[in-house]
With several copies, the nearest count.
Chain A
């Protein structure tokens, strides 16, 4: 789960990490007041769940409180289009008003969990302010990586090694190791899946400050982090995905094509997308219907397909295992009973209770396009969507 920059900085601050002075504002007047408290000169940052804000005009310097109020007024209520958002952009309902910082150096500090090391990894780089994946690709030697196993946890020596590696001598070294220790503790105690401070700046007055910060929370751990789960901002999420979620269809991701997909299992679902693409079509979504054996979720998935005006055809590919084919088939029939479905449906069924499932579809008297395997299904769906 993603959260906003201002929320991430509040969390850093609670974890004992010093952040730039400032506050979040939901109205232009509020932004002006905060700017005045900061002495007028400040930075106004649009709060959206996407990077690339600077180039897109989402981060602006204000010279006075009035200027700040004006900038905030223009940002608030608008949609910000960055390289990382969709073409419609993300809605700006809050701005972060922060002190202007005189930057001497820009560094990068990040944490994630490394599946190969099976441990949290702290990453540091002198190439701060840049897209770290770009740096990893072009200048891998510029990224210091340290896997921190859970036997030792984060020790001061980890911090010294990274800090000296960044060229930070005392007393900045001590600031850096303390910040890293706090970030590690935050990461492991709060179930973060990603923490990025980019840039982490050394100010001209000798402070180490997170100028921007991104924290993602492990979705699987939200059940035990209710205070973090409460930070979700639904406005930043796609409308169709939100609708799917509210209908209990959890593993739904909107894509940009015209073929709605309903598959059981994430791997098979990805393979179906691949198969559609190689058949010359474009999927409208990823959807792993999962294994919960009830017809309601199937009906709800069809509600989402119907709400998606781009969908010209639907491909159902089910290989029963945990999931039972007859239940899925029953769900498809119920969907037709509950709503007016006009798009063609290609169905490929296999696995547990497949015969019972096929009988249900036949008995319904409804028209479906049946397919013998996933390749056949993909080709038929592409053809159906083009009609």
Chain B
């Protein structure tokens, strides 16, 4: 098993005729994802690598049965694209786009809540269930099927983590980047809940960042989990009040620091990796000790 995406995922690519959309649609396809449709308004009838293109998501869903969407449209139009996917009844929307205005995301999350759709991102690398499917921009080849779930606010730091895991022979059930913006569709806690229920996942790696309080909320959920959680929070040495690339990564007040976040995670029972280079090792220690299957 796995979470979010698997062999049954029928992927739609919004913005498929753009450079990134077209490139990654093909990479997902090559990895084994069923990419069933693309959407670019006004480009209906054309194809990208054999994938049919539609004018609207509604039509694409009606004709192809797409049940997940990955979005590559530019920031100014991304909120509309996410809502279009939810309106068309797509239950899982992955938004890669970076730089979406925060207040657009207030509207989007309110609307998705109403429609009952799940959003991963924006400003995220997406989702991969190694060996099954990929709705994301991560390099598929660094992954390996297995029992470790990975959830992160950061893209490349996830790759780093996955590379460490794979090098140590620790495969992954699913890796999710939830995104680095102040408002994202899914929280750490949402993903931990799915991993806790997923039979294929034996341990979860959580990679946090400075800013906000999502790691503290995750800590509250970790208290209720039976599976081990290994955590790292980036930005311990970042100066306060600055936006560190990720719009969410601003330390404001006392609750946003890496120190406090790590303390909360530790108090909730998570194991803290001593440095970003030691995340893989820490997982190995835990799984070695962990007698539960």
On whether the beta carbons of A352 and B157 are closer than 8 Å, the reply is: no
- Residue from the set B41, B125, B183, B187 with the largest chain A CB neighbour count within 10 Å: B41
- A157 is contacted by which of B80, B155, B275 (Cβ under 8 Å)? B80
Would you give the shortest CB distance from B189 to chain A, in whole angstroms? 10
On whether the beta carbons of A375 and B213 are closer than 8 Å, the reply is: no
Please give, as numbers and ranges, the residues of chain A lying within 8 Å of B232 by CB-CB distance. 271
On whether the beta carbons of A150 and B110 are closer than 8 Å, the reply is: yes
Stretch of B52-60, B192-200, B222-230 on the interface side? B52-60
Would you give the shortest CB distance from A286 to chain B, in whole angstroms? 6
On whether the beta carbons of A220 and B99 are closer than 8 Å, the reply is: yes
On whether the beta carbons of A351 and B247 are closer than 8 Å, the reply is: no
Would you give the shortest CB distance from B168 to chain A, in whole angstroms? 12
Binary flags per residue of B106-117, CB closer than 8 Å to A gives 1, else 0? 110111001000
- A221 is contacted by which of B101, B138, B207, B252 (Cβ under 8 Å)? B101
Binary flags per residue of B84-96, CB closer than 8 Å to A gives 1, else 0? 1001000000000
The interface on chain A, measured as residues whose beta carbon lies within 8 A of the other chain's beta carbons, has a size of 66
On whether the beta carbons of B160 and A137 are closer than 8 Å, the reply is: no
Would you give the shortest CB distance from B127 to chain A, in whole angstroms? 14
Please give, as numbers and ranges, the residues of chain A lying within 8 Å of B157 by CB-CB distance. 265, 267-268, 270-271
Q: Does B277 contact A (CB under 8 A)?
A: yes
Q: Does B239 contact A (CB under 8 A)?
A: yes
Please give, as numbers and ranges, the residues of chain A lying within 8 Å of B276 by CB-CB distance. 268, 271-272, 274-275, 374
Q: Does A283 contact B (CB under 8 A)?
A: yes
Residue of A nearest to B236 (CB): A274
Residue of A nearest to B254 (CB): A137
- What is the bound-complex CA distance between A273 and B237, given in angstroms? 7
Would you give the shortest CB distance from A209 to chain B, in whole angstroms? 22
What are 29 residue pairs bridging A and B, where the CB atoms are less than 8 Å apart in the complex?
A113-B102, A113-B183, A116-B217, A118-B110, A149-B111, A150-B107, A151-B107, A151-B114, A155-B83, A220-B75, A224-B76, A251-B244, A251-B245, A266-B246, A267-B180, A268-B157, A268-B159, A270-B209, A270-B210, A271-B276, A274-B275, A275-B277, A276-B237, A278-B275, A286-B238, A286-B242, A286-B245, A350-B160, A350-B163
> Which B positions have Cβ atoms within 8 angstroms of A?
20, 41-42, 44, 55-59, 75-77, 79-81, 83-84, 87, 99-107, 109-111, 114, 125, 137-139, 142, 152-160, 163, 180, 182-184, 187, 207, 209-210, 212-214, 217, 232, 234-239, 242-249, 252-254, 258, 274-278
